[in-house]
Structure 1
Amino acid sequence: MTYTGPTEEDTSDGMLGWCLVANVARETAHGESGLDIQHGTKHFRAGALLWLPPVRWDPGHCRWPAVGRHRGNSRRYINVVVRAEDLENFRVKGVYSEALVRALNGYEHDLAAPRTLQNPWTREQAQRRADAWNQPREPVRIDGRSHPWISVSNPPPAELQVDGETLYLAHYGTRGTHYSRTPPPVEWIPES
């Protein structure tokens, strides 16, 4: 595996690489219909800083492997899969700690090169991902069918182009954004 980490021009002295980070949300929704509101998660307190390495495997829809300090033992880093909806304030930070590099590398950590990130972010990749996650996005349903790979901004646009087809906003509410292939009816205005 080649090291594609930061070059000397990109980093200051002692920096070992770039990483996407986020904080655990102050309030997280759990239980049936999200009615159980908790502070933080089971493993991390509210506001805890989590380091998010690039995904090497699919942990599930809207889930992310994360490295952070456990709420019960704040001295050691742990690896846990977290829900993306439990995270906020995505940004890019430099990695300086060998212990953090060891935790981010996980089972791929090379003892011969303890300061080398095995699967590093570039600063640009991490910034693009942070910008994408910081924008509020809404899931889309088209003519009653869910399309999880399509999302729109909040508030949603009145018209949406998908594969050259124009879709029209039919309904926007707590259960997501609904689009239809049928244009909305034109309101008739009588002439005076």
Structure 2
Amino acid sequence: MADTEPTEEGTPDGLLGWCLVANVAQETARGESGLVIRRGTKHFPAGALLWIPPMRWDPGWGRWHAVGRHRGNGRRYVNMVVRADDLENFRVKGVYSEGLVRSLNGYDHDPAAPRTLQDPWTRERAQSWADGRNQLREVIVVDGRRHPRISVPNPPPAELQVGGEILHLAQYGTRGPHYSRMPPPVEWVPET
């Protein structure tokens, strides 16, 4: 992508650091069983560019800190915790704005050094995270329980062998593939 490559081998003029970025997904799932589909999130419109600083503390499983321009006020950057499932198109971009540096630093921002990122990404580490998130793999749900260590490609296979047992695809929707230990019902066909 053009926004990740500098024009020369050296550092581009004015670059303050590298950061992992992503866009808010066009459709996000909310509500019971993810049946309510919305454009964007409550705080960010669909397609909004979010800057993701390195994690300082864990906001919870599947949630990340993000800095972006709020849906209601496009001038200022805001810090929010967002669901990782609501983000897409991960990549690396250079940071050039002091206002963005202030927001990425958060409470650790030093007014004496306004152009210094306190905990910067290295370009290679950010690219590694982006590549890992852009792989089209989804965590499965087996008989109503989420299994975060088991993931499948998108689209998921109809049958999956895990630990010696065969799981059958029961449902595939916005909340990912749901598998069942029970085989699918066989359609009865009358004899003629």
* Band of TM-score, shorter chain: 0.7 to 0.9
Letter in 1 for 2:99: A
Give SS of 1:78's match: strand
Q: How does 1:42-191 map to 2 (within 5 A)?
A: 42-140=42-140, 146-155=146-155, 167=164, 169-172=166-169, 173-174=171-172, 176=177, 178=179
Give the fraction of aligned pairs with identical amino acids, expressed as a percent.
Answer: 68
Alpha-carbon deviations, 1:5-37, whole Å to 9, x = none? xxx965211000110101111121111122222
| Deviations 1:102-148, CA, capped at 9 Å, x for gaps | 00000001112111111111111111111111112122468996431
RMSD of aligned Cα (Å): 2.6
My pick for the range that moved more, 79-88 or 129-138, is 129-138
* CA distance, structure 2, for counterparts of residue 141 and residue 39 of structure 1: 25
Partner Cα distance (2:178, 2:88) in 1: 22
- TM-score norm. by structure 2 comes to 0.76
Judged with a 3 Å threshold, the aligned counterparts in structure 2 of structure 1 residues 113 and 160 are, in CA distance, closer, same or farther, namely: farther
**Structure 1 unmatched ranges of 5 or more:** 1-7, 181-192
Q: Residues of 2 paired with 1:72 and 1:122: CA distance?
A: 32
- Tell me the residue number matched to 1:188: none
Distance in 1 of aligned mates of 2:115 and 2:57: 23
AA aligned opposite 2:124: E
Rounded to whole Å, the distance in 1 between the matches of 2:141 and 2:39 is 31
- Please say if residues 140 and 146 of structure 1, whose CA atoms lie closer than 8 Å, have aligned partners that are also in contact: yes
Kindly tell me: are residues 140 and 38 of structure 1, through their superposed partners in 2, closer, same or farther at Cα, counting changes over 3 Å?
Answer: closer
Q: What residue identity is the alignment partner of 2:112? A: A
Q: What is the deviation of 1:179?
A: 9.4
> How many residues get paired?
169
TM-score between both structures, scaled by the size of structure 1: 0.76
The AA in structure 2 aligned to 1:24 is V
Following superposition, the deviation at residue 68 of structure 1 comes to 0.2
Q: Which amino acid aligns with 1:171?
A: H
Matched to 2:12, the amino acid is S
Residue 41 to residue 155, structure 1, CA distance change in 2 (3 Å): closer
Equivalent pair of 1:138/1:177 in contact (CA under 8 Å): no
- Other structure's SS at 2:23 match: strand
> CA, structure 1 residues 127+169, in 2 after alignment: closer, same or farther (shift >3 Å)?
farther
Distance 2:166 2:100 in 1: 46
Shift of residue 176, structure 1, vs aligned partner: 3.1
